[in-house]
Amino acid sequence: MSVSRIVDPVGRGKWAVRVRPQVLPTSLHNSCSEAIEVAHGEVARAGGGEVVVRDPGGQVTDVQLVSPPGQSQDRPSQSPRQSYSRAGTQHRETPPRNHAQGPHEGPPPRHTQDEPPTNSNRVGKVAKKIWKPFQLVTKSIVGISALIAAVTLILQFAPGVWRTANWRPVEYSILNDIHAGYNLEYFESKLGNSTLTDSAIPGAPGWRKHTFVRREYFVDVIVNETGRVEAYSVVTCNPNFTPTLKAPDGSKVALNSVPLARSQQPTSSNRVRSDDGTIRQLTTEELNNSRLLNYFPGKSVSSINSYLEAMPNSGSNAAGGWGLYVGISSACIGTSEYPDVFQSPDYKGYVDGAPSEAINIREKVAANLFCETAPHSPLQMVEDGRFTFVGNQGPKSSPEPAFIIGPYWGALPAELRNMHGTQVFNH
């Protein structure tokens, strides 16, 4: 008949050996290993059995089988002494004990990881319980910090990435922020330093002409001796660059998207008094067909080759108000490549009296130039499509001073020009 002993803690570092649970111990010991050693001896002397180790809560942590002394050690099917885990499966094998040494002699048996916890083990478990939530909090803080850093990085670089991918709307906004009458420094704050500068203008001491070469367009300014921009023009040089500009008279001017004949769109600011005395808004047709045409196609390779139209209420013949112009600059279209379109003779006059060749141009070619002069500017346009001072027109072919409206195609490096930079419709 097998015999069993129970080894369990009783407090203050003491371990008891019992015959069965909840009975007085047969002996008390200073360590678990010492109590197990004594239990093994008692079971062996009683004919063999098992030693059961329990934790302070009464849960079984180890079951060790003990053979009686004198049992054969050569049987391969069963070793003299085996230890089982709580589930009853074999956990380890231990050598037979020489009981002649007595219950307290010889090295203590090795124990498994299921050995009941000592005070130091309990402290370690408590520390782990405390450390685990701390780890979770630390990881959360690190994760939040990483997220904040990532968001900060995105916010830092996102505007630049957006501008790179959507640069045209940014440029359109810049063009609507600049007007004649501002100083040169403001233009430079928006466009950077000018690319080309003409500082020697006969008849206009101290005046300068600056050209800003931008991606797919040009900005040209005429600056007086005080730094005030007296005239500003923009020329689009790519069919995909299609800004809509707010003119000082309240109308909207579309460049490179619709024919010149429909380039100006009225707003509530563009009104007229009807015959019955009522005030109404101008129609698109009325606004575009009220312009004064100044068409001067080139007669030689160095000609200006200008197609300009002065808007209604423009300061074309009076220097007191804004001068507003829209047209076609030969800097960004090869007029010789469209001989069936650009056939107009020289013409200065209103639309209703224009030759059919001039009508054909404004119906088939997009406006690629917009220009404005500052209020009370001394500049006015003369017959050949250039600016000069009011009252100082001089000879038609060579007024002095003479400012070409927009960048002169002959002064631009060839690599900056795009001869197919302007849309031509129904061609």
List pLDDT tens digits, range 115-129: 555 555 666 666 666
Give the model's pLDDT for residue 77.
Answer: 38
List pLDDT tens digits, range 320-350: 478 999 999 989 998 889 999 998 888 999 9
What φ, ψ does residue 188 adopt, rounded to 5°? -65, -30
Give the model's pLDDT for residue 94.
Answer: 43
State how far the Cα of 47 lies from the Cα of 67, in Å rounded to an integer.
7
Give the model's pLDDT for residue 131.
Answer: 66
As a whole number, the mean pLDDT across the chain is: 81
**66 to 52, 76, 82, 327, 386: CA distances (angstroms):** 11, 16, 7, 111, 118
Say if strands 81-84 and 60-66 run parallel, antiparallel, or are unpaired: antiparallel
Lowest mean pLDDT among 3-12, 110-119, 302-311, 387-396: 110-119
Amino acid at 59: Q
Tokens of 225: 């001796």
Give the model's pLDDT for residue 416.
Answer: 82
State how far the Cα of 305 lies from the Cα of 299, in Å rounded to an integer.
8
pLDDT class of 26 with cuts at 50, 70, 90: confident
Lowest mean pLDDT among 117-126, 212-221, 309-318: 117-126
**Which residue matches tokens 């800097």?**
331
HSE, side-chain direction, 13 A CA sphere, residue 208 = 14
List pLDDT tens digits, range 33-47: 999 999 999 988 888
State how far the Cα of 417 lies from the Cα of 196, in Å rounded to an integer.
14
Say if strands 27-29 and 14-18 run parallel, antiparallel, or are unpaired: antiparallel
Amino acid at 99: H
Rounded percentage of the chain residues whose pLDDT exceeds 90: 44
List pLDDT tens digits, range 237-279: 999 999 999 999 899 999 999 999 999 999 988 888 888 889 9
Amino acid at 96: P
Q: By the 8 A CB rule, do 283 and 297 touch?
A: no
Collect all residues with Cβ–Cβ distance below 8 Å to 95 and sequence separation of at least 6. Answer: 80, 81
Sign of CA dihedral 100, 102, 107, 108: positive
List pLDDT tens digits, range 84-98: 444 343 444 444 444
Give the model's pLDDT for residue 314.
Answer: 64
**Closest by CA position to 257, among listed 196, 172, 176:** 172
Give the model's pLDDT for residue 21.
Answer: 81
Amino acid at 91: H
The larger pLDDT score, comparing residue 220 to residue 273, is at: 220
**393 pLDDT above the threshold of 70:** no
Give the model's pLDDT for residue 32.
Answer: 93
Mean pLDDT within 390-419: 76
Give the model's pLDDT for residue 95.
Answer: 44
User: E strands along 111-216, which residues?
Assistant: 196-198, 208-214
